[in-house]
Structures are given as C-alpha cells and as structure tokens.
Structure 1
Amino acid sequence: MKQLTGSEIVIECLKEQGVDTVFGYPGGTILNVYDALYKHQDEIHHVLTSHEQGASHAADGYARATGKVGVCMATSGPGATNLVTGIATAYMDSIPLVAITANVGVSLLGKDSFQEIDIAGVVMPITKHSFIVKNVHELADTIRRAFKIAQSGRPGPVLVDITKDVTANVADYEPKAPEPIERVTKTIRAEDIDTAIKMIENSKKPMILVGGGVVAADASKELKKFAEKIDAVVCDTLMGKGAFPGTDDRYTGMIGMHGTKVSNFGINQADLVIVVGARFSDRVTGNASKFANQAKLLHIDIDAAEINKNVEVDASVVGDAKEILKMISTRIKASKKPEWRAQIDALKEQYPDHADMNEFSGPAIINKIYELTEGNATITTDVGQHQMWAAQYYKFKEPRQLLTSGGLGTMGYGVGACIGAKYGRPDRVAINIAGDGCFRMNMNEIATASRYNVPIIQVVINNHVLGMVRQWQTLFYDKRYSNTILDDSVDFVKVADALGATGFRATNLQEFEDAMKQAIELNKPVVIDCIIGKDDKVWPMVAAGAALETCFDQQDLDNK
C-alpha cells in the first residue's frame, strides 16, 4: 500500500482497467489529473480533441469498435457540459463509456463559483449512474464501480465528477484487479426457455429481428447457428448491422422507416418474429399497433424494462443473448422451411433494388466504398440520408463495423467516432460518411486527426442541403424548404487543406474511385467532397407513424 494524490489514483485506476487511450480536453479544475497523466504518457495515450464533444464521440467510437470501455475527460463547467451530447448518444445506444470530469473544490460547491456546474445532476437521466467524489478515500472504489457499472448487464455511460481538492489530497492506494463482468443468467427462467422452444418448433415461417444487443453480447456466432438450425430469415435494425452477415442468403436487409420492402413486407407474412436485443424503436416498428400482426412475438433481451414497453409480446426471455441462444440452440430440433424461404426469395425477386450504380449518387458512392475496401472497413456515419445509404448499401459482414448514432440521431457524431475507432482498431481502414450539414457541425475534429496523423477518410456526400429534412419537406410539406438549403461558398477541400488534411473533390464516380484509392494509399487524414444532386432521396420509406406495409419508393409515387 502506498500514498498517492487523488490525481495519481485516477491514473492508477485507469491502468488497472486496462485503459490505453483517453480522449479529452484540459482546463483549470482538472489540471492536477492532466499533470499526473503527463507522467504516465508512455502507458496511457491522451488524444487532445478540438472540442469536448469530439472527445465524448471519440470515446464512444473506440468503445463500439473494440467492445471495451471508452474513456473521456473534461474540466468543469462548459468543459463538462460539452460532453453531454456524446454521453446521451452512448446512453441511447447502450455503449460502455466512462466520463471523468473535475469540479470546483468542496468549499466552493453550491456558490455559483467560476465554471461550477452540477454535472452529476445534469447527466442523471442519460447515464447508468453518475458520481460526485468529495472524499479522496472514496475515489479509487468509485472509479472501479464506474467501470463495472458501464460494462455490466445492458452497457452504458457512467460519469465520475471529482472536486479539485480531491485531485490534490492524499490517500492510501492499493492496486486491485478488475472484478470480472458476469453474464446475466440469473434472470433466465427455465419455463421461459421451454415456452420459446415450443413457439419456435410450432413455427412454419420464423423471422429473426436482430438489434444492437446481439453486438453488445458478442453473440453473432450463436445467432448465425440458431438461424441456420431453425431455417429462419433474418432482418436487422440499424444498431444490429453486422451481427448477422449482410452477405448471407437468408438476410433480408434492414427493417423500418428506410428498411427494405422484403423485410417490411416479410415481417407481416411471418408467423413468428424472434426479436433479439432490440427495443422496438418507433423507427423500426412504424405503427406499433400494426407491427407483425400475423405473427407471434418472442422477445429476447437483457433489460426486463424493454419487455412490453413499446410492443406487447407473446413471450419473452430476459438475460444475456449469447447464453439464451446457446440454451435454445442446444435443445431445439433442426428443421427446414423450404416453402418459407421460397416465399421470401419471391419477395426479393419482386422488389429488387432500383438504385443506379453508374450514376453519381449516395448509393453508388457507398457501393464503390464497399468494393474498394472489400467489405472490411470500419464505417462511421453521421445522421441523415448518407447514414441510411451506408446502412443499405455497405454489406456489413461482422459486428462493430458500422458505428452510428441510432437512438439519439446525433449530427456531428462521425468524425470523432472515426478517430476513436481508428485508435481502437488500427488494423482496419476507417471511413466516416457524412452529409455536408453534419460535417459542418464537428469538422474541426479533422484538425485532431491531422495533429496525430490518424489516417481516417472523411467522405462528404455533399448535396448542399440538409438532405433528410429536405426529403420530408418534399414529400410532406409541399416543398416548403424552410432553412434546409446550404448552397453557400464553403469549400470543404480548402477546409481540409487548412486543417492539415488532404482534400479531394469528386463530381463523378471515376473521380471518386481515384480519390478513394489515393486516400487508402496515403495513410493520412483525407477529406473527399462528393457533389451529388440535391433531390436524391432515400428509398424505400415508411412515413412516420405509418404501418410497415405502406412502405413506398419513387416508382410507387410515379405509378399513383
């Protein structure tokens, strides 16, 4: 046992947890921690982002890419509040993250002191837990608890706020190995497994709906084995991408507002829908009262609070998806469903994708990225049309390949997340796909990539409008384009050069292919500005609140 300052205890606890990279921005109240970090820079690499929001998104991207806990740091007041959007993003998508902030000294709390804010209170609704540490003797155990909470059960973010005097005070420190993270199995009831097996064995037309919980549980292998054993077809949510291979014959594509017609129509032809690690988001179900009305619903999820929250189900199993799928697969009888598979194959033939891959458009750009990376890249996105095109046209083979803000829908997420992902998975090409509206929000993080020479590739799908909002204005607001036109003189190639990256502009598919090939070979930060038409749309589409069977595309509108 030895005596250390609170700041030294913070660093030692991070080392205990195996943290190798931290994203953050220093300031007055957290200076002691940064001073201690300076002395351990050979053990923990700190990435100075351009903005604290970038730090929280980078920590999130690191966590999504690796499955480990992402860590970010910020000072008090605006430093801490600038983390909030990133913390909320992680919370909505169940991403393990620990945010460490510092606050004014205990004697100054509650006095509206300079840069004082009750950040633990601010983030209470968007964290699994938030702590404020006012006693140095409680610091080590609080940090250890934070890491355990972030990873246990349904993962999520935890905030630890430390007063400045605690970072300077001294306490005894004794190293401890991290407590093992146990899989949640106590909630798995034998009778629920029995019911699930009976429902599956009675089904002639099973469909599996895969959510992000399968990624979090590291259950993709078990899922594939399970799907093959019961001969089910498989669709996924945005968060479930890659949990089941997008190249598999039984895969029908994403479901929901911009899901495929095969998935949206197919789920209404199934007699059993097995939902694994998904929460029945409104963007997935459409009109919840009309969701999969011909089917029985079996819900497998780690969080009991999600059962019957948005959609009433016929049966459920609560617990770790990996363990539940193993239990069911071990006992279930293998079966073949040729008629059901033929029915889905007929839907695939009836509703092929109509995107022209020779036209310079969002789908063609994504398809070209897929070809040039052979499906092996880490793809981060911002939020909007480009996000949906990425989900639709990049065939994700593995989990943790698509990193995107699903629940919160955070514009400006992508660049920071891409930097974090590249630190977590340096072996993979890392590409952020953004619209011009999103890129404007946090393009300052290109400077971060340049400072550390992080070889990310930023693809801007630039239509000079807020594309997704404009799409809604076109379809539902009689083309009243209120504040969605971005046709100004901003030059992203010059911005890239000014921020220390290499910029390219592409106005056709060949120019884009040439730029992408150079970007991959350069192995440095690159921005590719892709100029496409402002009226390109994401198809298919389900109007907000409508039933999935009302899914339509441009051909349907033209045939009216």
Structure 2
Amino acid sequence: MSVTAAQLLVRCLEEEGVEYVFGIPGEENIHVVQALEESSIRYVLVRHEQAASFMAEMYGRLTQRAAVCSATLGPGAINLQLGVADATTNSTPLVAITAQVGRDRSYKESHQGVDLVSLFHPITKWSALVPTPEALPEMTRKAFKTAQTERPGAVFLAIPEDIEKADVSADLKPLRIDRVRPNEPTDDQVGRAADVVRAARRPIVLAGHGAAREDATAELVAFAEATGIPVATTFHGKGVFPDDHALSLGTVGFMSHDYVNFAFDAADTIIAVGYELQEFDPQKINPDADAKIVHVHRGAAEVDAHYPVDVGLHGSIARSLALLTGALGTGEASPTPLAAAAEKITGPLRDELAQHAVDDRVPLSPQRVVADTRAALGRDDIVLADTGAVKMWMARLYPTYAANTCLLSNGLSTMGFALPGALGAKLARPDAKILAATGDGAFLMNAQELETAVREEIPLCVLVWEDDGYGLIEWKMELDMGTSSAVKFGNPDVVAFAESFGGKGVRITAADQLLPALQEGLASDGVTVIAVPVDYSENLKLTDRLGGLEDPLTA
C-alpha cells in the first residue's frame, strides 16, 4: 500500500491542526492542492500570493497557531515573500510551502528555477528544501515547532515537483506533536527584579507584543494595581492593558514626541513586559540610556545601547508577572508619581477624540473617523489598521481594551496587509466583527481580494480613508522639507469598484453617514467597502502642536 507524498504532507498538516491553506495552485503543486481538496482542510483560493501570506499571517497572529500559505515555484513563491517577512518581523507564526523544480533539473539552469531556500533564508526562522518524500513527517513537524516557538516567526519549505507526486509507504505517519512549555524565572531573578522595582522612584511599565501574544492582561493589571505603576503599550501591545484603566498611559510609538513620551523621559526604571526592539526604537523610550531596565519576556533581550537590561525574567510572561507581584507584596498600592500624573497624559488625548467626535466637516477629520470606528466596534471586535497615515491616527487615538483587537504592522510596517488580513482574521475569529481600515494607497495594493471574499463567502467590511495620495509620505516630506512631491494619484470609483465584484459600495458625503454605514457594513454577511474622504490637513496641525508641546507632567 502506498500514498503520494502530497497526501502524506496533507496528513501531516491535519495532525498539526491546520484548518486553512491560503494560496494559488500551479502546475508543480497540483497534487498537493488535490490532496487538500480530499482532506478536512479548506483551501482558500486567492487572487495574489502576497494576499495569501497576509491572510495566513493574521490568522496566525490571532490564534498563535501557524497558518499555511501556499504557492507554486518561481514567481508564485516570490510573491509570498512580503507577508512572510511581515510575519517574521511581527513575531507571528506562519508556514509557507511552495513547489520547486524537480531534482532532475535542479542542478542546472532551468525554466522558473530560482534558489528559493536562499531567497527565504533571511526572512524566516528556517528555510529548507525537502530532499526526499520520506522526510516530510519530520520536516513538517520541525516547521510548525520552529514557527510557533518563541519568538514566533515564519518558516519556509520548498517541495520539488518530482517529490510532490512520488509514492511513499502508507506506513509513514505524521509525528506526534510535542508541546513546548515555557520555563519560569528563577527565584534569584525574581528577587533581583523586585529589588530594582522597590528602589525605583519613577517606574513605568511598557507592555509589548509578547504580552499581547500571551494575553497576559490579567497578570499585567494585577501587577499595576498592586504596585501603583502606570502602563504604556507599544503599537503591537495595544489593548493588552485596557485604555480605560486608571493606570493606563496609552500607546507609545508615534513619530513625534507625544504626551506619553514625557512619562518615559521622566522614568528612572522601565519594566518592559513582552517588549521587542523592532516594535519601537528603544532610544525613544530611554533617550539618555540611564533608566534601569527589567526585561520580562520568554527569552533574552536583543542588545542595544539604549536598552541595557539590569534584570531579565525569562519564561512565561504571565507567570513572571505573577511571581514579581508576589515578591513585591499584595494589595492595591498608592499611585506612583507617574501614575498620579497619568491624567495629564491621557486626558488631552481623550479630549481631542471627544472634540472631533462632533466635528461635522467634510472631508472628515481623521479624529472623527477614529471616533466613529470606535463607536461601531465592540470591545472585543477587531480592526486592522493598514500602514500609512491611518495607522498613525489609529495607533495614537483609538481606545483599545483587549489584546490583539487593533492589529498593525510595526515590525516591517508594510502596506496592503489589512484587506486580505481581515479575511484571515474573520476565519480565526468568526464571532467577532472585523474591520479593515486602510488608506486609498494601500487599498489598491490588494483590492483584488474583494473577489476572494465574495466567492468564499467570508464577511468583509473595508473602510477606505481617501485623500488621493500617499498621505503619510506627504506628511513626512512636509515636515522635513516644507514641500512634497510624487505622492498624489487618482482613484477609481470605489463604490462601482466594490459593486463590480458583487459587493456593496458606500460613499460618505456627510459626517453623520459614517457611523451608520460602519454599523451596517459590520453587521452584513457580505462584502462592504466604505469610502470616506479625510482631511489630512490635520496631520501637520498635530505635529506642529506636538512640536511646541511643553512637558505636561510639570504643568
């Protein structure tokens, strides 16, 4: 008795708990696609391989289980690379599997022959060619184990065409999954960390992506309340500490010196919980490199002159926080100096959002769009904010109350992920409302996936912030040079565009139309694209205001 290597691979994927494979078939992987058709795994046919990688990435980010994107060899595989790199830099588990030329022509110049293993090597945790059909169980298990082990990231496997369709013994079985359990920090580490925190005069917590991945909210809140230490989050950490908690300082990461940056300027100790350096330059949170650092994460910190770690607690983030809280003593503490001044940091942000929530101008102010987006979504619903000016406004102002409910790319900061990523997010969290918020530049980078959503019957709501240009680049050019160039373009009729795919298009012509349009689109089982004109003159007004900002903590 025998099966094909393609069938063996699919059995291995089923054993790993894979529910979806996102991709486009090619001549060289048709046996894998057919084996998927005969399995419990749903193959989601997309319109561009880049979109497949973003769908897999966002599914993996929400589930912490590696999703799979698939492509043929050569150009198909190369098209996967952007989302694969995004997954690795955003610490998200993903397994990319592509075809490769057969072994009978791999040693010579050949049609569509590209060294894919070398191409994927710098953007993955592991990149390998399957050398023989019998290696599939071991290599598949290693791929998922590597992708899902901290820090998570992407893995790449290339399967030669002749191996994919080869026969193998039916006795070959998928390997048993061994669950990796995080260690606990040592008693000595916890004791030294507690000593640093006790000695601190102006401590602050920075919660990052690692804390969000582990969903360490309960332990983080307990630590803050027991110590009176306020908490700021990175863009990727948004929501892991609720923004409406009295000890919340909001989000740090905006390109200008914002209110929350003053808290870091004043801090003498930073308890970094799940923070990873690619999220935000440590120089921005420790400009003089003089703050003491307590690094709470599953692994050791990257080396940086502005991130000198005094004590590292390595192991489960939630468990490390619980142990540190216990070592410091229980009970609700009095607010520390920075916590007592928290209102001076968060109050102006709330006031800015509230003031613009009733701003009726058209085009709409970015703040009005953020306010209506927040009003349309529940606390546990999810918004994906694409890279561009929309990302800056959403990261800075959008109140977030649960981990992984405001998803941004801040490792690679790539454009075009939100629309396809929303499809992966909806499959991962079918009970949540999912919104893709994107600029018009990013929208057209993967707008073809509207057809995928319609055909696959995946509910999708897209909010397109329209300004007929690359707004963030224009913003930065104006800041640096006082002028801008090569940033303006034309747009299609978004309403007609959405309808041409079988979706619904909505154009906002009055400010009071946006919230009901969002509510209706999010409640729909179909595809809705909402175009809202945005007044980005607010961009320079904001950075001018922040540039002249005096320290609110001394005011």
Q: Above 0.5 in TM-score?
A: yes
Structure 2 partner of 1:548 = none
Residue identity matched to 1:270:
A
Return the alpha-carbon distance in structure 1 between the equivalents of residues 491 and 152 of structure 2: 43
- Give percent identity, aligned residues only: 30
TM-score, with structure 1 as normaliser = 0.91
CA distance in 2, matches of 1:157, 1:291: 35
Structure-2 residue corresponding to 1:546: none
- Alignment CA distance shift 1:366-1:351 (3 Å): closer
347 and 376 in structure 1: CA distance in 2 versus 1, 3 angstrom threshold:
closer
1:124 to 80, 102, 121: 121
Of residues 188, 192, 195, the one that matches 2:192 is 195
Distance between the aligned counterparts of 1:120 and 1:447, measured in 2? 31
In the other structure, the counterpart of 1:417 is: 421
Q: CA–CA distance in 1 between the matches of 2:41 and 2:55?
A: 15
What is aligned with 1:50? Answer: 47
2:181 aligned partner: 182
Match of 1:336 in 2: 333
1:233 match: 230
| 1:177 Cα deviation after fit | 3.0
Judged with a 3 Å threshold, the aligned counterparts in structure 2 of structure 1 residues 347 and 103 are, in CA distance, closer, same or farther, namely closer
Aligned-pair Cα RMSD in Å: 2.3
Q: How does 1:252-291 map to 2 (within 5 A)?
A: 252-258=249-255, 261-281=258-278, 283-287=280-284, 290=287
Please name the residue that 1:11 is paired with.
10
Is the 2:256–2:546 Cα contact (8 Å) retained in structure 1? no
Correspondence 1:246-257 to 2 at 5 A: 246-257=243-254
The CA deviation at 1:260 is 7.8
Q: Distance in 1 between matches of 2:174 and 2:70?
A: 22
SS of 1:263 mapped into structure 2? helix
Partner of 2:308: 312
Pick the aligned partner of 2:507 from 505, 508, 518. Answer: 505
Matching residue's letter, 2:324: I
Q: Is the 8 A contact 2:124 2:155 kept in 1?
A: yes
> What's the secondary structure of 1:252's corresponding residue?
strand
- Give SS of 1:146's match: helix
Structure 1 position 504, deviation (Å) = 0.4
The equivalent of 1:386 in structure 2 is 390
Unaligned runs of 5+ in 2: 551-555
> Using a 3 Å threshold, how does the CA distance of structure 1 residues 489 and 246 change in structure 2: closer, same or farther?
closer
Q: 2:435 aligns with which of 431, 434, 437?
A: 431
CA contact under 8 A between 1:201 and 1:333: conserved in structure 2?
Answer: no
Contact 1:539/1:553 (<8 A) preserved: no
Number of residue-to-residue matches in the alignment: 540
Q: Secondary structure at the match of 1:4?
A: strand
Please say which of residues 79-88 and 306-315 is displaced more in the overlay. Answer: 306-315
Query: Relative to structure 2, which stretch is displaced further, 163-172 or 435-444?
Result: 163-172
Question: Does the aligned pair in 2 maintain the 1:101–1:160 contact within 8 Å?
Answer: yes
Q: Measure how far apart 1:221 and its partner are.
A: 1.9
**Cα deviations across residues 162-221 of structure 1 (Å, max 9, x unaligned)?**
111111122231244311122144xx3433222101111222432100110112223222
Residues 222-250 of structure 1: CA deviation (Å, up to 9, x unaligned): 22211211111000111111211122111
State the match for 1:59 in structure 2: 56
Does 1:533 pair with 2:531? no
Amino acid at match of 1:396: T
- Kept after mapping to 2: 8 A contact 1:307/1:316: no
The equivalent of 1:484 in structure 2 is 487
* In structure 2, C-alpha distance between the alignment counterparts of 1:429 and 1:344, rounded to whole Å: 31
* Closer, same or farther: CA 301–307 of 1 in aligned 2, 3 Å: farther
Amino acid at match of 2:234: T
Distance 1:425 1:433 in 2: 17
Distance 1:59 1:190, change over 3 A: same
1:523 aligns with 2:525: yes
Distance in 2 between residues matched to 1:220 and 1:260, nearest whole Å: 27
Match 1:354 to one of 352, 355, 369? 352
Q: How far does the alpha carbon of each residue in 1:298-350 deviate from its partner, in whole angstroms, 9 at most, with x for none?
A: 12233325144652233322333223222212322136233523233344457
Distance, in Å, in 2 between the alignment partners of 1:134 and 1:251 is 52
Q: Once structures 1 and 2 are overlaid, which stretch shifts more, 102-111 or 233-242?
A: 102-111
Query: Which amino acid in the other structure matches residue 100 of structure 1?
Result: I
User: What residue number does 1:300 align with?
Assistant: 296
Bigger mean CA offset, 67-76 vs 488-497: 488-497
* Aligned equivalent of 2:453, options 421, 432, 449: 449
Higher mean Cα deviation, 526-535 or 339-348?
339-348
Shift of residue 284, structure 1, vs aligned partner: 4.3
Deviations 1:94-150 (A, max 9, x none): 100011111111111132322222211101111111110020111111001100111
Determine if contact 1:153/1:184 at 8 Å carries over to the other structure. no
Aligned to 1:547: none
Alignment of 1:11-160 (within 5 A): 11-40=10-39, 43-160=40-157
Post-superposition offset of 1:499: 2.0
The 3-state SS of whatever aligns with 2:104 is helix
Q: Which amino acid aligns with 2:319?
A: E
For the residues of structure 2 that align with 1:113 and 1:351, how far apart are their CA atoms?
Answer: 59
Deviation sequence 1:426-462 (CA, Å, 0-9, x none):
1011100000111111111111111112111100011
Aligned with 1:523: secondary structure? coil
- The CA distance in 1 between the partners of 2:226 and 2:14, in whole Å, is 43
The one-letter amino acid paired with 1:504 is V
Distance 1:29 1:494 in 2: 37
1:321 corresponds to: 317
Match of 1:552 among 546, 549, 552: 546
Q: How far apart are the structure 1 equivalents of 2:25 and 2:349?
A: 53
Distance in 2 between residues matched to 1:361 and 1:318, nearest whole Å: 44
Alpha-carbon separation, structure 2, partners of 1:483 and 1:152: 42
Counterpart Cα distance in 1 of 2:519 and 2:19? 31
Change (3 A) 1:123 1:541: farther
Q: Partners of 1:339 and 1:32 in 2: how far apart?
A: 62
Q: CA deviation at 1:374?
A: 2.9
Task: Tell me how far 1:257 sits from its aligned partner.
Answer: 2.9
